[in-house]
Structure formats: C-alpha cells, structure tokens
Amino acid sequence: MSPAFGRFSGSYFMLLLGLAIVLTMSLAALCAPLLAPYTPAAQHLDNILQAPCSRFWFGTDRLGRDVFSRMLYGGRVSLWVGFVAVGISTSIGTALGLVSGYFRNWADEVIMRMVDIMLCFPSFFLILAVIAFLEPNMTNIMVVIGLTSWTGVTRLVRADTLSLREREFVSAARLAGNPTRRILFRHILTNALAPVLITATLGVAGAILVESSLSFLGLGVQPPTASWGNMLMEGKSVIESAPWLSVYPGLAILITVLGYNLLGESLRDILDPHLKQ
C-alpha cells in the first residue's frame, strides 16, 4: 500500500470521526430542552456544590444549578455564536476576495490594504478592544468576531480567483457575453468553494474558542445565560473543592474544537487534487 493511499484512507477515518463528534455535539445542543433534566436556571438549594451523582450527573454549581443541563444549553450558545460569526466572516471574505481577484484594479489595492491593516493587529486583542466599547452580549460577540475574521477568507478566495480568471472556461464565458455577476458566481465561486468550506469549518472551532475566552474574561455572554466560557469562569474560584465545574465545560470545548479541526483537516486532505492524483 502506497503512503499516499494510507494517508488518504486515514483522512476518511478522521473525516468520519470529526463528523461524528460535530453531529453528536450539535444534536445534543439542539435537543437540549428534551435531554436536560432541569432548566438551566433551576436552583436546588439543598444540593449546592453537589458532586456528580445519579440525580445530578455532572454535579451542581454554587447556586445549586444542574451542571449537565447548563452544559447542554451552553452548547447552544457556543455553537450558535460559532456558526453565525463564521457565516458573517465567510460572506464578507468571499465577496471581497472575488472582487479583488477578478477586477485587479483600484478595488484590489483598497481591499488588500484593508487586509494588511487588519493583519497588523492580533485578532483576539482587536476583538477585546472593540468589545470594551460595546455591551457584552451574544449578538455583539457574533458580529464582532465575524467582522474581524474575514481576512483569511479574502486572501484565499483572491488567490483562487486570480488563478481561475485566466482559465479557458472563464475566458469562453466572457467571450460568450455572460454578465460579470454570472461569471463570478457561476464559474469562479463554484470552483473555489472547496477551500472556503474547509476554512469555514476550521473557523467555527476558532470562533468557539474566542467566544469561550471572552466569556471566561467576563466580556462575552453574561450570566445567568449559560455558556461554556462563563461556566469555566464560575468554576475557577472553587476548582480545588469542586473541580467538576471546570472539568466538564473544558472537556466540552476541547472535544467540540477537536471535532471541527479533524473535520476541516480531513476535508482539506480529501479535496486536495494533488493527493487524489
């Protein structure tokens, strides 16, 4: 068996593993009202800081709230932030990359200079600076992450567009009198979707990490709304006496991010034309 074939088979295994993790976490979050034994705000004052047991599978927190229920509802918040933020950044980056790579005029110069300016600042600190002036809620978090994460998609789509615009089928479509909009979306974008899909998949993992970090710092989703990040923040003060408050949300973040990374990396290997050859 050739090394390329072995790597290709391994990519399919990682694809299935990543897909299984992503689907499991997504379904658990989507079905939180059906799976959670309690509402996320329900307090059990006679079981404050209760260790994991048959009644409370993941224990309770300092207010007597069921950690398992809060994790399920917190997963809805983290995943929703990841999907919406990546949707915003991918839409902006794809549109700017198409315009920049196809026209190659003053618009290309303006867009690329904007990308250079954005890349001068570390993205997380840029997000922190913007959030400091806004109300820390889920909507603002999604918008800010999306508006500060489009540069990578823009550069990727621009590079593919620069290559595709010189291909014979694009030249034929241009000579046939097709409008520019049709050429961009029908002939160029459809051939550049694979790397965009891979980048978006990996971007969901990054957005979940950013949201969790902001919530841990108190600048993200605010209590009593449950998110994995603010659950970690609430558990850090009692980590020695009640480690389950930090272990379970941390594992949820780790497993979810791992699943999206495995999915994105395996898609990249499978869709790589050089590896197929």
Report d(CA 169, CA 175) in Å as an integer: 10
Split into its structural domains, the chain has a count of 1
Determine the average pLDDT of the residues in 8-26: 85
- pLDDT, tens digit (0-9, with 9 covering 90-100), for 70-104: 999 998 888 898 899 999 999 999 999 988 888 87
- pLDDT, tens digit (0-9, with 9 covering 90-100), for 170-217: 888 888 877 878 888 888 888 888 888 888 988 999 899 988 888 888
Report d(CA 46, CA 38) in Å as an integer: 15
Predicted pLDDT at 89: 92
* CATH label of the domain that carries residue 122: 1.10.3720.10
The whole-model pTM stands at 0.85
Q: Which domain holds residue 151?
A: 3-276
pLDDT value at 9 more than 70: no
Taking CA atoms, 97 is separated from 142, 158, 165, 222, in Å, by 22, 4, 13, 35
Torsion of CA 94, 96, 101, 105, to 10 degrees: 170
pLDDT value at 123 more than 80: no
Predicted pLDDT at 84: 92
Residue 272: left (phi > 0), alpha (psi -120 to 50), or beta?
beta
> What's 137's DSSP letter?
S
Confidence of residue 27 (pLDDT cuts 50, 70, 90): very high
Predicted pLDDT at 261: 92
Pick from 66-70, 123-127, 193-197: least confident: 123-127
